[in-house]
Structure 1
Amino acid sequence: MKSYTIQEINEILNGDIIGNTTQEITAPEQLELATSSEISFIGNKKYEKLWLTSNACAAVVNEDIAIEPGENRAFIKVKNADLAMSQVLELFAPPTPLFTVDIHPNAMIDPTSTIGNGARIGAGSYIGPQVVIGHHATIYPNVTILDECTIGENTVIWSGTVIRERCHIGNDCILHPNATIGADGFGFRPDPQRGLVKIPQIGNVIIGNNVEIGANSCVDRGKFSSTILGDGCKIDNLVQIGHNSKLGKYCIMAGNSGLAGSVTLGNGVIIGGSASIKDHVTIGDGAIVGAGSGVTGDIPAGKTMLGYPAVEARDALKQWAILKRLVNESKHK
């Protein structure tokens, strides 16, 4: 079991130690569940009260935290406790699944593919014709990568993921279990003689560097050209990205949210959980769409939108306040 002193942890965080603890720290844990050998964190003053009943021996805290740690307990004060705690979690992270050999003999690798130096491919994975796997990429067991795809250096692809033909994944990406990249876009048109006619989807998907895609999320291939995810995008579990959508850099999409076809997101756009975006909508740089919202029209850069249909946040809050007042008035009539 890994364990560290408070001083050893602070060597990584470079914060200020307040108080002291002689307890060896064996794990990070949330305040309410921590034991006397565990470290927690306080990222907001409203959680100060939880420290009084917590058993944690130490906590990483923001600089504005005013309480004292107490006897044989310590704080490490930092500018951003959330970011600092990510470093603590890395310190205690268990090892990733073991590869006894870099290329498992039960992996099916087409002879025309190119495998980079130090790349690892697990049992049951299929690497199709003319696929290029970058240096030090990790392909866990039972991954399917079809014809003419490229996988960047240091990218990690977890089990069950399917990457369909001609799609391109950048460097330092993470694709979590059962992600699907490059499935057909949802395109059908009614025909009096044939019913619903499937529209061929002949494009692909291009994913930039440092992109993370959550479990069971889907990025559909373009109907004409490419569905594109820019560098640094972070996509949660169970997210749908429709065909020919284009995401700028560092966009965030939370779980169960979805983009219809041909949606454009600027840089740094945040889409809350279960939000839905209509086709051919453009959302400007830095805009935020609140959880559960439904976007039916373009959003200018920097705006925050709430509701269904989504309106500017301040207008939505006014509407909700009026509705609440009307309900309360009707109860007293």
Structure 2
Amino acid sequence: MQSYSIEEINNILDGELVGHTTSQITGPEQLDKAENNHITFIGSTKYIKYWDASKASAAIVNEKFTVEPGENRALIKVKNADLAMAKLLEVFNPPPPVFDIDIHPTAVVHETAKLGKDCQIGAGCYIGKDVVLADGVILYPNVTIMDETTIGAHTIVWSGTVIRERTEIGAYCIFHTNVSIGADGFGYRPSDDGRGLVKIPQIGNVIIGNGVEIGANSCVDRGKFSSTIIGDGCKIDNLVQIAHNCVMGRSCIMAGHSGLAGSVTLGDGVIIGGSASIKDHTTIHSGATIGAGSGVMGDVAAGKIMLGYPATESREMLKQWVALRKLAKQ
């Protein structure tokens, strides 16, 4: 088990050390579960009151907070405790599963596929016709990559993920367990005789930029005509639906159970809260935030914060909620 002195950890974080502890730190832990060999963090003033009762020997705290370390305890003051803890978690992060062999003998790799240097392919994977994997791509067991797909350098694909034909993926992406990329978009129209539904062919593809992370069991459907596009640096949570022909700008965030209907456009840095739903053919401009559980029915201007169902500008929605509470008391 790796362990560090508080001075070594402070050197890693480049913070201000207040107090001292002789305990060796073997890992980070939350305030109420920490033992004396743990370091915790305080990123909000509402957690300061729990520090005295915590068994942790050290804490990472925002530099503006007024907190006393206590006996044989230490604080590391930093500008942003959340980011500092993320840096420390990297230090204690266990190594990923090890491949005993770079390409497992049970993997099926088409003879036309091109593999870069240091690719690793786990048991039961399928690599289709004319697939191109750049250097350092890792496919964990039972991943399927269909024909004519390209995947950029050092992208990691976890087990159960299916990437359909003609998908274009950038470098340094992460796809977690059971992600679906490039399945048919959901397109149907009533038949002429009114007795059934006609399936609309989806002939486009999916294009994913660099540094994108997609959580487990999320789906990105291919375009009906051209491409569904996810921009560089987007982070997508578990159980998210992105429908055909959506276009996401750079560094967007989508929390769990949220969804984009067809042909939604997101600008750069848009944040979609958990379980929020976005109507088809809607544009949400750069920097906007959609609150959890909201239902967006129309375009959203840049930088706006939207709440509620149907979603309304946050200040107006808060006024409505206050008015409803007053009405209920009458």
- The two structures have a TM-score, normalised by structure 2, of 0.99
Alignment of 1:275-290 (within 5 A): 275-290=276-291
- CA offset at residue 328 of structure 1? 1.1
- CA offset at residue 2 of structure 1? 1.1
SS of structure 2 residue aligned to 1:301: coil
**How far apart, CA to CA, are the structure 2 residues paired with 1:49 and 1:155?**
42
Alignment of 1:11-90 (within 5 A): 11-90=11-90
Q: Does 1:295 align with 2:293?
A: no
Alignment of 1:115-154 (within 5 A): 115-154=115-154
Alignment of 1:1-333 (within 5 A): 1-193=1-193, 195-329=196-330
- For 1:271, the aligned partner's letter is I
**How far apart, CA to CA, are the structure 2 residues paired with 1:101 and 1:20?**
46
**How far apart, CA to CA, are the structure 2 residues paired with 1:15 and 1:141?**
41
**How far apart, CA to CA, are the structure 2 residues paired with 1:97 and 1:132?**
24
**How far apart, CA to CA, are the structure 2 residues paired with 1:110 and 1:183?**
21
TM-superposition CA deviations, 1:40-78 (whole Å, max 9, x none): 000112210010111000011100110111000001111
**How far apart, CA to CA, are the structure 2 residues paired with 1:228 and 1:214?**
17
- CA offset at residue 196 of structure 1? 0.3
**How far apart, CA to CA, are the structure 1 residues paired with 2:67 and 2:283?**
46
- For 2:113, the aligned partner's letter is S
How many residue pairs align between the two structures? 329
SS of structure 1 residue aligned to 2:12: helix
**How far apart, CA to CA, are the structure 2 residues paired with 1:111 and 1:61?**
55
**How far apart, CA to CA, are the structure 2 residues paired with 1:21 and 1:235?**
39
SS of structure 2 residue aligned to 1:314: helix
- For 1:49, the aligned partner's letter is K
**How far apart, CA to CA, are the structure 1 residues paired with 2:153 and 2:75?**
39
- CA offset at residue 12 of structure 1? 1.1
- For 1:201, the aligned partner's letter is Q
- For 2:27, the aligned partner's letter is A
TM-superposition CA deviations, 1:138-183 (whole Å, max 9, x none): 1100000000000110100000000000001110000000000000
**How far apart, CA to CA, are the structure 2 residues paired with 1:16 and 1:57?**
16
- For 2:197, the aligned partner's letter is L
- For 1:280, the aligned partner's letter is H
- For 1:32, the aligned partner's letter is D
**How far apart, CA to CA, are the structure 2 residues paired with 1:102 and 1:279?**
43
SS of structure 2 residue aligned to 1:244: coil
**How far apart, CA to CA, are the structure 2 residues paired with 1:30 and 1:56?**
9
SS of structure 2 residue aligned to 1:327: helix
Contact 1:180–1:218 (CA<8 Å) still a contact in 2?
yes
**How far apart, CA to CA, are the structure 1 residues paired with 2:309 and 2:38?**
43
Q: Any gaps of 5 or more consecutive residues in structure 1?
A: none
**How far apart, CA to CA, are the structure 2 residues paired with 1:183 and 1:52?**
52
- CA offset at residue 192 of structure 1? 3.4
Contact 1:45–1:64 (CA<8 Å) still a contact in 2?
no
SS of structure 1 residue aligned to 2:101: coil
**How far apart, CA to CA, are the structure 1 residues paired with 2:7 and 2:108?**
49
Contact 1:307–1:316 (CA<8 Å) still a contact in 2?
yes
SS of structure 2 residue aligned to 1:274: coil
- For 1:54, the aligned partner's letter is S
**How far apart, CA to CA, are the structure 2 residues paired with 1:248 and 1:87?**
26
- Structural RMSD (CA): 0.6
**How far apart, CA to CA, are the structure 1 residues paired with 2:2 and 2:327?**
58
